[in-house]
Amino acid sequence: MAFQAVCRKFVEEQVTPLVAEAEEKQRFPTSLWRRMGDAGLLGLGFPEEVGGAGGDLLSVAILSEELAKASGGIAITPLVSSYMAAPHLYRFGRPDQMREYLAPVLTGHKVAAIAVTEPDAGSDVAGITLRATPEGDGYLLRGTKLFITNGGIADIIVVAAKTAGGDGHHSITTFIVEAGQPGFSVGRPLRKMGWHSSDTRELIFDDCFVGANRVLGEVNRGFYQIMQAFQEERVVLAAMGVGLAEACIEASVAYARHRKAFGRPISSLQAIRHSLAHMRTQTEAARLLVYQAAVLADAGADAAQATAMAKLFAAQVANDVADRSVQVFGGAGFLEESPVAMHYRDARVLRIGGGTDEIQLEILAKLMNL
């Protein structure tokens, strides 16, 4: 757990002091990129040969947990870049693509995003409509992506597009697009319920030319590539849920010890102390599911069931614990300046992003041969 201690120290020293301003300005503090890169926190789970920092998915989960304790909006920004977008570059990129696009992301010199979701296709990845039409030595991309985290700050965007007609399972290809390319533009920042310091945009592709050398992986195999990389993404999001719940518990316990009602600290009232004990238990259970999913994936074992369970359960626990923590705070919890209000808002997206609760339940039901 020495690594957890380092992550905690890093977050306390480098991230926590920036949260209030980042949330207020709804902007990710850009100084964090290089600081995280220098500390080796953007290249975990990637081998040194490609510029990574060693480590595994469990170490990524631990980092995610610690970052999310400070702020979901700040946490998600580097986590998307390094652990949701970059894995596509690593798993499916050619050596030259890894040198050019992956290596700078793992050191914080460049920011990455992954663009799959569209206005009419979220969980239904096969239903995307952004088209990539062959043109000369490459493709013309046309269409829009929506809810793209890091959309406005990314230098490198992995974009999923339809390259053939028919069933989406066999007609999707992923491409590497660079910010500033002709034909590519981003909409204004989308205002969200939570994750205020995270940048979320609509991406517009208006006959954006991408050379054939920027195809990532195999043509028409994109659906399967995306599904593979989703596994890591879900572990990261689940770990964020655990971190968020942990932060809510810490804040609630401190408040309950201090706040007096009926002549004694509310932590001595059964209604409150039992709620806190329940929060603690739920969070620990979620943490163990997340660690199990990470450990299985690290061992090369089938982690599909563990990952779906971890994502489903941790996201729900985060919401329940955040709700309970606001209740512990009472009126103070309803104030924006309370330490739990931000977490309460940030928790909700965890049941949606990276595969909704319903998608996880569907995966689990299928694994039960139902």
Partner 1 sequence: MPDMKVVVCAKQIPDPAAPPLIRPDTHTLDRTGKLILDDSDSYGVEMALQLAGGADDEVTLVSMAPNGETAGLRTALAMGATRAVLISDDALLGSDALGTAKVLAAAIRPIQPDLVIAATESTDGYTGTMPVQLAELLGLPSVTFAKGVAIDGSTVKVQRQTEAGYDDVECPLPAVVTVTAGVVEPRYPSFKGIMAARSKPIDVLTLADLGLAPADVGAAGARQEVTQVSEAEARTAGEIVEDDGEGAQRILAFLEQLKVI
Give me the 281-300 binding string for partner 1, x by CB under 8 A, dash otherwise. Answer: --------------------
Q: By C-beta, is 103 or 347 nearer to partner 1?
A: 103
End-to-end CA distance of the chain: 39
Give least dist CB 14 to partner 1, A: 9
Q: Which pair of tokens denotes residue 106?
A: 């793992």
What's the CA gap between 83 and 166, in Å, rounded? Answer: 31
Select from 2, 271, 368, 370 the one that contacts partner 1 (CB under 8 A): 2
Stretch that binds partner 1, among 4-12, 65-73, 188-196, 350-358 (CB under 8 A): 4-12
Looking at residues 13 to 42 of the shown chain, list those that interact with partner 1 (rule: CB under 8 A): 38-41
Q: By C-beta, is 49 or 96 nearer to partner 1?
A: 49
Total of chain residues touching partner 1, rule CB under 8 A: 16
Neighbouring C-beta atoms of residue 192, cutoff 10 Å: 16
Q: By C-beta, is 11 or 249 nearer to partner 1?
A: 11
Give least dist CB 16 to partner 1, A: 14
Give least dist CB 55 to partner 1, A: 4
Select from 10, 33, 83, 139 the one that contacts partner 1 (CB under 8 A): 10
Select from 42, 44, 125, 244 the one that contacts partner 1 (CB under 8 A): 44
Give least dist CB 29 to partner 1, A: 17
What's the CA gap between 287 and 346, in Å, rounded? Answer: 18
What's the CA gap between 275 and 15, in Å, rounded? Answer: 29
Select from 6, 18, 219, 332 the one that contacts partner 1 (CB under 8 A): 6
Residues labelled as active-site residues? 233
3-state helix/strand/coil string of the chain: CHHHHHHHHHHHHHHHHHHHHHHHHCCCCCHHHHHHHHCCCCCCCECHHHCCCECCHHHHHHHHHHHHHHCHHHHHHHHHHHHHHHHHHHHHCCHHHHHHHHHHHHCCCCCEEEECCECCECCCHHHCCCEEEECCCEEEEEEEEEEEECCCCCCEEEEEEECCCCCHHHCEEEEEEECCCCCEEECCCCCCCCCCCCCEEEEEEEEEEEEHHHEECCCCCHHHHHHHHHHHHHHHHHHHHHHHHHHHHHHHHHHHHHCEECCEEHHHCHHHHHHHHHHHHHHHHHHHHHHHHHHHHHCCCCCHHHHHHHHHHHHHHHHHHHHHHHHHHHHHHHCCCCCCHHHHHHHHHHHCCCCCHHHHHHHHHHHCCC
Q: By C-beta, is 7 or 210 nearer to partner 1?
A: 7
Q: By C-beta, is 6 or 352 nearer to partner 1?
A: 6
Q: Which pair of tokens denotes residue 13?
A: 């020293």
Looking at residues 180 to 239 of the shown chain, list those that interact with partner 1 (rule: CB under 8 A): none
Give least dist CB 360 to partner 1, A: 29
Q: By C-beta, is 56 or 362 nearer to partner 1?
A: 56
Give least dist CB 253 to partner 1, A: 16
Give me the 47-86 binding string for partner 1, x by CB under 8 A, dash otherwise. Answer: -x----xxx---x---------------------------
Stretch that binds partner 1, among 2-10, 78-86, 147-155, 206-214 (CB under 8 A): 2-10
Q: By C-beta, is 48 or 96 nearer to partner 1?
A: 48
Q: Is 336 in the site for partner 1 (CB under 8 A)?
A: no
Q: Which residues bind partner 1 (CB under 8 A)?
A: 2-3, 5-6, 9-10, 38-41, 44, 48, 53-55, 59
